[in-house]
Amino acid sequence: MKKNYAVVTLGCQMNVHDGERISGVLESAGWREASLKDADAVIFLTCCVRGSAERRFYGRLSSLKPLKDRKGILIAVGGCLAQKEGLRLLERAPYVDLVFGTQQYPRIAELLARAAEGATCATGMDGLHLDNIPVKRKEDFRAWITITHGCDNFCSYCVVPFVRGREASRPAPEILAEASRQVEGGAREIVLLGQNVNSYRRREEGASRFVDLLRQVGSAFPGVWIRFITSHPRDFDESVIRAIADTPNVCEYVHLPLQSGSDRILAAMNRGYTRAAYLRKAESLRSSLKGVVLSTDIIVGFPGEREEDFLATLEMVESCRFDAAFTFIYNPRPGTAAARLPDDVTPEEKHARMERLLHVTRRLTAESLRSRVGGEEVVLVEGESFRDPACWRARTRGNQVVHFPREEQDIAGKFARVAITACGSWCLHGRLLEVLG
Ligand code: SF4
């Protein structure tokens, strides 16, 4: 069997990072990455968090059927939808050779070999062991490191606990060893990754809480920026804010999903916090961390959301002055608690509320970017700008994108000081002042 593979990733950062591990495992088994048209195996990593992602996936999957008929390629489907559907996916798309679940990807090379002999389905959830699983980074200078996998929160709208299993925290020495390998391999930024990083718990080691791990990673790699995602407002507390303030290389960027500004809806979502508690944390972040960038997720049109609930969300968005917001229209996911509630906000109303919300969040993002103009930022240069090869693309400590003119010198992967001279709707523009190394 020839060994060229392509990975097609849909969905969240967790899937993107799973794709990096799949590439790592396959390449250590002699496979090579190729374009879709040259691949002998195409591996989809699917998402089922929203119905639209599911529909998009089936569209892309069926577009590969002619390639399969012509070249006999292997088609593998992994990720959340594969975990949820299992054998049903093989019945619906009989040209698929392999369905593998969210805890099976370390075995991908062996599973592809089995699938070459006949259709295979592997969706067991007996635990995920990531120690010594190779990773092929997709980004030159940023390394994503899983610290927890799975989720125990059971937010009423979310399928993640069902498709990624119960929450488990990786041993701190394993995380530090992986970070060390990534830094030796050229990473200048580490992102600690989990569905809810704040509930990281290890009683076995001295570092038993997320905040201890954050401090440990920060002090172990002083020349490397450290970020983390995603935080849960119920578990995010003052100790994390203090750790960010005290650890110079932990960046002042926090993604704290609000979801709704109405206490009634937050309770129906099973989020475990109130708007007042969230607001206290947002205010503390703003007052303790100069220049912090705060981003969020918001769902509109959750079952039972009335006009006054939505107005409470708008008011919270204004009070928290989010620098960036990822907004979603609710749609029920089968098997979740919320799917049993009447989906009683009409599609027209959901879209109208979304428009009103976007009007506010876009204004706040523009204000946040404008407030940086005239100042200076330390940035990590990621590479050439996607849109304009005459510019570098870089990110501030607050995770905001900056473009600035390229000069002769190759400074990709270096930290630099830039003057912020202007802004667009989503990014900053600047001028290089100094390369910091
Ligand atoms: S915290 Fe809630 S929304 Fe996030 S993955 Fe867990 S159940 Fe889903």
Residue of 20 and 204 predicted with greater confidence: 20
Using a pLDDT cut of 90, give the percent of the chain over it: 87
Would you identify the CATH topology of the domain 4-122? Answer: Rossmann fold (3.40.50)
Exposed, middle or buried: residue 328 (CB in 10 Å: 0-12, 13-18, 19+)? Answer: middle
Q: 151: CA distance to ligand 1 center in Å?
A: 6
Report whether 392 contacts 384 (CB < 8 A).
yes
Reported as a single tens digit per residue, the pLDDT across 327-354 is: 999 999 999 999 999 999 999 999 999 9
DSSP letters for 33-55: E--GGG-SEEEEEE--SSHHHHH
CA-nearest residue, atom 1 of ligand 1: 153
Ligand 1 pocket test, candidate residues 160, 164, 273, most atoms within 8 A of CB: 160
pLDDT of residue 85: 94
In this prediction, residue 260 has a pLDDT band, given cuts at 50, 70 and 90, of very high
Report whether 278 contacts 315 (CB < 8 A).
no
**Is the predicted pLDDT of residue 313 greater than 80, yes or no?**
yes
CA-nearest residue, atom 4 of ligand 1: 195
| Ligand 1 site, residue 49, Cβ cutoff 6 A | no
Same fold, 4-122 and 275-372: no
Ligand 1 pocket test, candidate residues 80, 159, 195, most atoms within 8 A of CB: 195
Reported as a single tens digit per residue, the pLDDT across 105-152 is: 999 999 999 999 999 999 999 888 888 889 999 999 999 999 999 999
DSSP assignment letter at 73: -
* Domain ranges across the chain: 4-122, 139-251, 275-372, 376-435
> What dotted CATH number matches 376-435?
2.40.50.140
Share the mean pLDDT of the chain: 94
Q: 157: CA distance to ligand 1 center in Å?
A: 9
Q: Does domain 275-372 have CATH number 3.30.300.10?
A: no
Reported as a single tens digit per residue, the pLDDT across 362-404 is: 999 999 999 999 999 999 999 999 989 999 999 999 999 999 9
Reported as a single tens digit per residue, the pLDDT across 164-175 is: 999 999 999 999
The residue behind tokens 């769902």 is 299
Report whether 169 contacts 201 (CB < 8 A).
yes
Q: 153: CA distance to ligand 1 center in Å?
A: 6
In this prediction, residue 55 has a pLDDT band, given cuts at 50, 70 and 90, of confident
Phi, psi at 307, each rounded to 5°: -55, -40
End-to-end CA distance of the chain: 45
pLDDT of residue 11: 86
pLDDT of residue 328: 96
pLDDT of residue 2: 64
Would you identify the CATH topology of the domain 139-251? Answer: Transcription Regulator spoIIAA (3.30.750)
Reported as a single tens digit per residue, the pLDDT across 180-226 is: 999 999 999 999 999 999 999 876 766 579 999 999 999 999 999 99
| Ligand 1 site, residue 154, Cβ cutoff 6 A | yes
| Ligand 1 site, residue 158, Cβ cutoff 6 A | yes
